[in-house]
Amino acid sequence: MAEGEFTLLRQHLKQALLKDSRGFTGVHDIYAMLADTSAQQRDEAALHEYTPLLEETAAPLDHTLYLAIAHRAWGVIHILGGEYARAEAQLNQALELFQELETRWQIGRTLFEMADLARARGEPALARDYYSRALGRFEDIEALPDMARTQAAMVELD
């Protein structure tokens, strides 16, 4: 998704939060989309705004998918903040939950974030391994944009 499309998506989601919902969508659904989009964009301010709200609304529901998305978003926050041990812990929690749910795309996206963490730590061999594992998940489901993004990241390692 292009950067302008992310911005437009976030604007629509913010408007949805302000409107009276007819019960079709809970605020936890919107917070999940906002936190996830913010993580993909590396929008630190939005991540700090929406990740705690996602966690607060998903936890009482024991919503495993959204809690995993929150863990991944926290992982991105910690990567951006240079808190690599905390990032690793959050990403591992996200990965474990996504694996329990058998959500291949979410697993691939989390492995991609773990690769980015390894890059930030200066561990290119580990980054390549995570990118390769992510690429496998994306190939399984033919997630073409994610495949292209992962392949481009792997080329950058060379």
State pLDDT tens for residues 75-86. 999 999 999 999
pLDDT band at 119 (very low <50, low <70, confident <90, very high): very high
Q: 43 is written with which tokens?
A: 């929008």
Is 103-158 in CATH node 1.10.287? no
Q: What is the mean pLDDT of the chain?
A: 90
Nearest partner of 32 among 72, 78, 5, judged by Cα: 72
Domains of the chain, residue spans: 1-84, 103-158
Distance CA 95, CA 109 (A): 9
Q: Are 114 and 98 in contact (CB under 8 A)?
A: no
- Alpha-helical (H) ranges within the chain are 3-18, 27-41, 44-58, 64-80, 84-101, 104-120, 124-140, 144-157
Measured over the CA atoms of residue 101, residue 136, residue 94 and residue 4, the dihedral's sign is negative
pLDDT band at 145 (very low <50, low <70, confident <90, very high): very high
pLDDT at 158: 84
